[in-house]
Structure 1
Amino acid sequence: MKNIRNFCIIAHIDHGKSTLADRLLEYTKTIKITEGQMLDDMDLERERGITIKSHAIQMEYTYNGEKYILNLIDTPGHVDFSYEVSRSIAACEGALLVVDASQGVQAQTISNLYMALEHDLEIIPVMNKCDMDSAMPDEVEDEIIDLLGCKREDIIRASGKTGMGVEDILKAVVERIPCPTGDENAPLQALIFDSVFNSFRGIIAYFKVENGVIRTGDHVKFFNTGKEYDADEVGVLKMDMVPRKELRTGDVGYIISGIKSSREVKVGDTITHVDRPCAEAIAGFEEVKPMVFAGLYPIEADDYENLRASLEKLQLNDASLTFQPESSLALGFGFRCGFLGLLHMEIIQERLDREFDMSVITTVPNVSYMVYDKQGGVQEVHNPGGMPDPTLIDRIEEPYIDASIITTTDYIGPIMTLCLGKRGELVRQDYISGNRVELHYKMPLGEIVIDFYDKLKSISKGYASFDYHQAGFRPSKLVKLDILLNGESVDALSTLTHFDNAYDLGRKMCEKLKELIPRQQFEIAIQAAIGSKIIARETIKAVRKDVTAKCYGGDVSRKRKLLEKQKRGKKRMKQIGTVEVPQKAFLAVLKLD
């Protein structure tokens, strides 16, 4: 056990941690690098250049004539995937904190660092991309020292591209990170930190052994669900799964036990033996809180069950996705899904399309609100359709966040304007070092859900970084904005919005829908309404057939008769005709600005 080291890599998005992980694997001769980003094996990860899934892999390294086993867990860096990071941190004793030498410390770096410090991890600071012309090694070192309070010589200068500093990192991992602590003779306790679905072998759970030993063929049970299984195969994770006879305390590995239902594997659960169970589950694991809710509906009504199966399989691979069935008048049966953020929602849609061949319609995303009625009761509402009648509501509270934005002083003005436009309140601003400043805002979560992150990046030319934490609920003047087509409400397009923004949003939505809804043989009225009050209207003119073409000469009453007949037909058609809202109309509402 004294020769095992478990560590993860944490960093802000795009600071080069996956490339650095590849170099570590190459240096320890774990794999041959055939193409870049060996750990980012999903097509989506390679296309976007982001890590979505955390990956565990085992390396062997010889130091001073002794052989060490290093278990590396690579983690995502985007604010939406912070839950993945928290799970990886729970399974480690140390972390490499990677900071880009050309960009310096950014918001997600700080947030992930605090998460690692809460779990008492040993932090090894690494300054990556030191070979770049735009690198500022001395200034960035000062920032890291301010952040960590470490010595200058503790910081390792490295480059994932050229391989500089890789040996120093491996030495530091062996020397500075403590070996796992635990008792091999105690009852088995193993923490599940991830799971994947394999269509041939069922559900495969990844775990770290905290105490005890697990052997192939053992009769085990999952502590929280109480389900019992036989360990058909246990082993360690290299690039592929390598079976072993047993895994001892401190090892990281996988277990295959023919589990078929996704509900039986809870990430964060504890595996123990049936005949000699442990006294309690492993602590330090939090339930995930979804931040953004949206409805997912199959395009074909017959695909409802397939969509459920696809979501269940995705949930195994991504424990932060939550869903429950709901139905809508416009779209039929579907699911209300909870996501950690907009990027997470986009990734889930892409993965449903690629991995399961499911194309879905997504409704406007929103957050959850607390609605208090006049009798003093309270209910949580995720969906504008679930709002009680406005006459019964006493007040509505919406979730607020503490946001921290790190940027250079050149962009303070535009960023403050953006935050004020999103109803943000400036709490304080701190100058970090040189010309970098950290702004602290209190903001409603509903305002940042749709496009805040994109706008922040564009007005700061990519230099601002953003991170947030929940900060409870506050009363707010919210109204439900309905969109009506020919007097019929389209529940998939209704949103909850602040009273001050309602008129503007209603007008924009009507204008956008006028562009996107195809013309019919009858006139279509698009209206935005708050309760029974119409606040905006656009009209799509009817497509007309020239019924008077065959009249040449003769009395004008012949033409008038034909036009009157056409008018009656249009009126009848309007009563029975339905308006199809195309899929891109639902998505366009998100990108109104």
Structure 2
Amino acid sequence: MSVHIRNFAIIAHIDHGKSTLADRLLEHTGTVSNREMKEQLLDDLELERQRGITIKARAVVMQFERNGKKYELNLIDTPGHVDFQYEVSRSLACCEGVLLLVDAFQGVEAQTVANAYAAMEHDLKIIPVINKIDLMHARPDEVAEEMMNSLGTDPDECVRVSAKTGEGVDGLVDAIIEHIPPPTGDPKATLQAMVFDSNYDDYRGAITYVRIMQGTVKKGQKIAFLRSGTSHEVVELGRFAPQRQSTDVLAAGQVGYLICNIKSLGDVHIGDTISIPGDKAAEALPGYSRPKRMVYCGLFPSDGQDFSELRDALERLAVNDPSFEFEPETSDALGFGFRCGFLGLLHMEIVQQRLEKESDVDLVQTAPNVTYEIINKRGETITIHKPQDVPDPGDIEEFRQPIVRCNVIVPDDFIGAVMKLCQERRGIQQSQEYLAAGRAMLTYDIPLAEVVYDLHDKIKSATRGYGTLDYEMVGYEAADLCRLDIMVNGNRVDALSVVCNKADADRRGRAVAKTLKKEIERHMFEVAVQAAIGSRVIARETVPAMRKNVTAKCYGGDITRKRKLLQKQKEGKKRMKAIGNVEISQKAFMAVLSDGEQG
């Protein structure tokens, strides 16, 4: 009996029920028994279960029979947060169709629109699904109309389900079988497979997740990675059901994993093509576009001795998550560490927590900053990933900042509050349109530095949780920016430098100087804490010296005795200030970083 294959992904805005729907599909097709079932079964990272969000896309195969035919459904569950959009785009390259999931109460959200356009770009069949129809305040008819207005879907094609109760899941499985086209690959052709993810196992080496486009791969066969130019023998292959389940053959259209005892992490590249060794290899697949890192920060081991451990942990994590990058850097304040690039602030937080939990590394993180471009007096364009690299003001012809186009979907009661927020962050309005009665989409161009810190949280607060934000990079624009340096006792503290708008520099400089004054321990000499732009000091605070009362033993007698002792003390403090060093404690450092983010 031939097997009918369908490959599809579930895409949706965050919290619209992707992982719960995946649970119901696994139950309905008998892939997982009731005894093994638990909520969010495919979210197997500890961090995913703690936060209740999907971070990594997960593949699973579901096999069942219907009307005398054998079906194999390959499902990929994807994240919903804007920072993990790269995970979604990788998953879509392995599918022929998608389930576009929308909450029956909240309706079309910002990330719903972004994901739908991504699916259209990959030319995939979209099945619109309205979830949570069991809610008391569900409004499926209005949501179907919203989807038609904003995404152009047919309201009659919308499948209505409740991922919580399982209502409508049977009809959804029928829609998947009927509407999603089967894969087109030829099992007899030369092997051609796409690497869409990978993982590192301490005992088995790199585990490569593949979608077979053409041909067949068997256990014991020699395969070649075309990008890295290396050949390996397949020790084990199999599929996810939902745990690893070994098999002898994977044919065109199937999704599974390969283990080849690869210990060198540099041999596995996500987006690589696998074929046969030699001249008869299939041509390489287009792969994936490189992710654009938006936010950079320094990661340093809190104990300087753990540098090599941190490097090994970052290399292992990069195999599983290629969307962040890292390179070594040194800081006078923090020692040896790495400059890391991320897709957004949540991505940065997740990577930091995964390093601490999975590799047991204790980290110190510098203030996050975005990538800038500078055109110097010689007409050269320099990309700036950290504030320390900004040249002197006299050498800068033009300072450019990254601009993102933000789509904010809000109930119309909160339009004024959101407009005020965007304008405060130097946003320029591009458009305003109504998706349905009572819901509008505002489009603004805003500097990325103003978006990544807290715009998402502020929009949630201003709209009582109903507003949603999605953004995409537009390009770089000239702006009135400067590098703000913090100097302690006349020495620049490189890890506290930030790039900011000149209009905000005074306020931020004063805030950091005041925080440091409270946090730096008093010394035997006065310590000056200054904020400066180039050679111009714009704020100063002074940490007073600890004083000993040297005249305590002088009672009565000539005043010149007291003056002599005070003069001696003054000279001693002057000499101490000239040769003394001020150490900024880790606590003071973290206080400034958190204060800087709020500022």
Name the TM-score, length of structure 1 as normaliser: 0.95
> Which residue of 293, 305, 310 corresponds with 1:290?
293
Give the structure 2 partner of residue 130 of structure 1.
133
Deviates more, 1:406-415 or 1:513-522: 513-522
Residue identity opposite 1:591 in structure 2:
E
Contact 2:517 2:543 in 1 (8 A): yes
- Does structure 1 conserve the Cα–Cα contact (< 8 Å) formed by 2:297 and 2:368? yes
User: Residue 242 of structure 1 corresponds to which residue in structure 2?
Assistant: 245
Q: CA deviation at 1:449?
A: 2.2
Which one of 266, 270, 273 corresponds to residue 267 of structure 1? 270
Q: Is 1:48 the counterpart of 2:54 in the alignment? A: no
Distance 2:385 2:509 in 1: 20
1:525 aligns with 2:528: yes
CA distance in 2, matches of 1:365, 1:158: 41
Shift of 1:148: 3.6
Report the residue type matching 1:517 in the other structure. I
Match for residue 581 of structure 2 among 577, 582, 592: 577
Q: Distance in 2 between matches of 1:510 and 1:166?
A: 59
Q: Deviations over 1:68-95 (max 9, x none)?
A: 1111111000000000000001111111
Deviation at 1:555, TM superposition (A): 6.9
Inter-CA distance 521–15: structure 2 relative to 1 (3 Å threshold): farther
How many angstroms apart in 2 are the aligned matches of 1:590 and 1:25? 46
Structure 2 counterpart of 1:440: 443
- 578 and 168 in structure 1: CA distance in 2 versus 1, 3 angstrom threshold: same
Q: Secondary structure at the match of 2:291?
A: coil
In structure 2, stretches of 5+ residues that fail to align are none
Taking the aligned partners of 1:89 and 1:590, their CA distance within structure 2 comes to 38
**What pairs with 1:180-579 in structure 2 (closer than 5 Å)?**
180-275=183-278, 277-283=280-286, 285-544=288-547, 564=567, 566-574=569-577, 575-579=579-583
Q: CA deviation at 1:485?
A: 1.0
Q: Which amino acid aligns with 2:437?
A: G
Contact 1:409 1:437 survives alignment (8 Å)? yes
Paired residue type of 1:370: E
SS at match of 1:120: coil
- CA distance in structure 2 between the partners assigned to 1:581 and 1:483 by the alignment: 15
CA deviations 1:220-242 (Å, max 9, x no partner) are 11111111111111111123211
Give structure 1 stretches of 5+ with no counterpart: none
Q: Distance in 2 between matches of 1:2 and 1:560?
A: 100
Contact kept? 2:329, 2:338, Cα under 8 Å: yes
Name 2:598's counterpart in structure 1: 592
Matched, 1:116 2:122: no
Q: Closer, same or farther in 2 for the Cα pair 1:553/1:125, shift >3 Å?
A: farther
2:529 partner letter: I
1:168 maps onto 2:174 in alignment: no
Determine the C-alpha separation between the residues in 1 that align with 2:170 and 2:557: 97
Matched, 1:106 2:112: no
* TM superposition shift of 1:556: 6.6
Count of residue correspondences: 593
Moved more, 500-509 or 528-537: 500-509
What SS does the corresponding residue of 1:39 show, helix, strand or coil?
coil
Tell me, in whole angstroms, the C-alpha distance in 2 between the residues paired with 1:28 and 1:298: 47
Secondary structure at the aligned position of 1:184 is classed as coil
Equivalent residue, structure 2, for 1:20: 21
Q: CA deviation at 1:395?
A: 1.1
Matches of 1:13 and 1:552, distance apart in 2: 76
Equivalent residue for 2:7? Answer: 6
Shift of 1:256: 0.5
TM-score using structure 2 length: 0.95
Structure 1 residue 400, shift from structure 2 partner: 1.3
Query: Any idea what the Cα deviations from partners look like across 1:459-482, whole Å, max 9, x if unmatched?
Result: 222211111111111122211110
Separation of aligned partners in 1, 2:252 and 2:351: 35
Assess if the C-alpha contact under 8 Å between 1:509 and 1:592 holds in 2: no
Q: CA RMSD in A?
A: 2.0
Q: Does 1:81 align with 2:84?
A: yes
Q: Contact 1:219 / 1:231 at 8 angstroms: preserved in 2?
A: yes
1:154-193: CA deviation from partner (whole Å, max 9, x where unpaired) = 2122122212122122121111111111111211110011
Secondary structure of the equivalent of 1:258? coil
Deviations 1:428-481 (A, max 9, x none): 111111111111111111221222222122222221111111111112221111
Distance 2:238 2:553 in 1: 82
Matches within 5 A, 1:130-149: 130-149=133-152
1:269 deviation in Å? 0.6
Instruction: Give the 3 Å change call, closer, same or farther, for CA 405–560 of structure 1 in structure 2.
Output: same
